[in-house]
Structure 1
Amino acid sequence: MVLVNNKELARKIEYIKRRGTKDYIEKQLERNPFANSACLSLEGKGDFFCTGSVTFGVGFGMEDSLVKRDVELIEKFIRNQRGISHARFELTPFCDPLLTAMLQERHYTFERFLAVWVLELESWEAEESRQTTNAWTIQKAAGEECDEWAWTVALGISKDQTVGEETMEAARAFLEVPGNTGFLLKQDGKSVAGGTLAIDGQLAELFLASTVAEYRGKGYQNRLIEERLRHAKARGCRHATATTEPNTVSARNMENNGFRLIYNKAVLKSQALL
């Protein structure tokens, strides 16, 4: 399968993000009905999500056309959320140019790019050996270790090196989504890094990965990437995908593990919706 300019593969990638995020919000609200998360689905057009202070629309412009009243409905949805004042659309290169023009007319502006990576698993082979000076192991998060996985991933993402109960609950909900598996890396028995894998049919998505600050630079995320790819291939997946910020350590890790950049998504941001 040709990866570049493959609209059908792009649809599958955007769909796994839509489905996974919808399921995650549902699980999060089951655990905490007061969580600041919500989803607005426009049948056949895309999904718009709010999680915490983050908003993003996925899948729009790839199937049925979005019209002015759809955008107005999304903006009304944003106005009804706590602590959120901007709408953001993640637009693929396959997006209907009329949607881009409509958003520009409504004074949406470019905010950033997101890099979408893909690896063909049928031809991928794991390296035979990995050299390291530290004793490390990787295991799937299950049972009591689900909380340890959530704590480790949340701590690795935290900017101030603290993890509150609400953040733990938010991370823990990812493991309750059907098709998701958490992987936990331990050094000398201590949990220091984690990552997540979602599987939908023959497509796997690598996401939500982090390393505790004092253990970075040891190649642990590369180990977690490889372990998740092994798991996905063993379950019959043909492709694996990941989305990163461009020109980051995460992007370099994907490239170093054989992923190819197949498209960039442009994030367009609204003016303040008051």
Structure 2
Amino acid sequence: MTLYKEDLVRKIENIKIKGTMEYIINRKKISPSYNGDYFSLDAKGTVFCMDNYCFGVGFGLNGEVISSDIESVENFIRKKENYSTIHFEVTPYADQSFLKILKAKGYTLDHFLAVWILKLEDWNPSQGKWENEDVSIVKVSAEESSEWARTVALGFSNDQKTTEDSIESVRGFFNLSNSAAFLVKEKEESVAGGFIAISDQLGEMFLTSTIQTHRGRGYQNLLIEERINYAKSKGCTYLTVTTKPNNTSARNMERSGFKLAYNKVIMKCPQIE
């Protein structure tokens, strides 16, 4: 694993914070009943509560985090309905005292996330063009946003079914500033989708999925390459993506030239009462 400069790591974590914050603000404008919310703590990090899941991003990257900071976060969550725990995403670049405080408060390891990075000037496109004339990839227009959201939500589904809530949860990202959605089609059928957001010459890929019946046909790699080209066209110098470690998505990133930047430790608190 290559060591990256802390300013690049901060950019990676900050693009997640900025995008999620904007997503929540936009969802609230569209649907006042939406219960997502966030809490920023003196530039030390931000906590998000959405879809029955609370998580903290960026903590320990901008100075020391103290015990009372964690208590402020927990007090914020106590005031929220349907939330009783939090997951802090801790990078290896965070102040070492942060992890010690979490452990002292009874936080335990829940899982890991792998953060990948691609330096775009070093990227070489794959040889040859996509040869299947029945398959196309398009940048999604506003008129196609619902179809794109349905496709992505269906791709994440384990039972090949989806709901209006899951579709709306995906579609909420469509109007993020400096972003683009892509859709893969077999003839006229939408079968896979992906998304990219851009900030400060850094692109982040996420919301990438393929409908279960159409997996194994190379559509993930097609979406990766399309978004790499898009990021380059927008003047990005780096592209990042977060996956679970050692899964299919992680292997696709490695094959596409991404390097493992760092693993994040996800620490979960005891139930907050």
Q: CA deviation at 1:50?
A: 1.0
Equivalent residue of 1:84, what SS? coil
User: Structure 2 matches for 1:20-169, cutoff 5 A?
Assistant: 20-133=19-132, 135-169=134-168
Contact kept in structure 1, 2:2 and 2:260, CA below 8 Å: no
Aligned residues: 273
Q: CA RMSD in A?
A: 1.5
Q: CA deviation at 1:132?
A: 4.9
Counterpart residue type for residue 84 of structure 2: S
Contact kept in structure 1, 2:10 and 2:58, CA below 8 Å: yes
What is the match of residue 269 of structure 1? 268
Equivalent residue of 2:174, what SS? helix
Q: CA deviation at 1:152?
A: 0.4
Counterpart residue type for residue 230 of structure 2: H
For 2:8 and 2:184, the matched residues in 1 are separated by 31
1:240 and 2:267 correspond: no
For 1:133 and 1:188, the matched residues in 2 are separated by 10
Between the two proteins, what is the percent identity of the paired residues?
Answer: 43
Tell me the TM-score normalized by structure 1: 0.96
Equivalent residue of 2:173, what SS? helix
Contact kept in structure 2, 1:113 and 1:265, CA below 8 Å: yes
What is the match of residue 197 of structure 1? 196
Residue ranges of structure 2 left out of the alignment (5+ in a row): none
What is the match of residue 19 of structure 1? 18
Counterpart residue type for residue 257 of structure 2: G
User: C-alpha offsets along residues 152-172 of structure 1, whole Å, 9 cap, x if unaligned?
Assistant: 001111223222222222211
For 2:206 and 2:80, the matched residues in 1 are separated by 26
Residue ranges of structure 1 left out of the alignment (5+ in a row): none
Q: CA deviation at 1:10?
A: 0.4
Contact kept in structure 2, 1:3 and 1:9, CA below 8 Å: no
Q: CA deviation at 1:3?
A: 5.4
What is the match of residue 179 of structure 2? 180
Equivalent residue of 1:175, what SS? coil
Equivalent residue of 2:142, what SS? coil
Q: CA deviation at 1:82?
A: 2.5
User: C-alpha offsets along residues 194-227 of structure 1, whole Å, 9 cap, x if unaligned?
Assistant: 0000110210001111101100111101000000
Equivalent residue of 2:34, what SS? coil
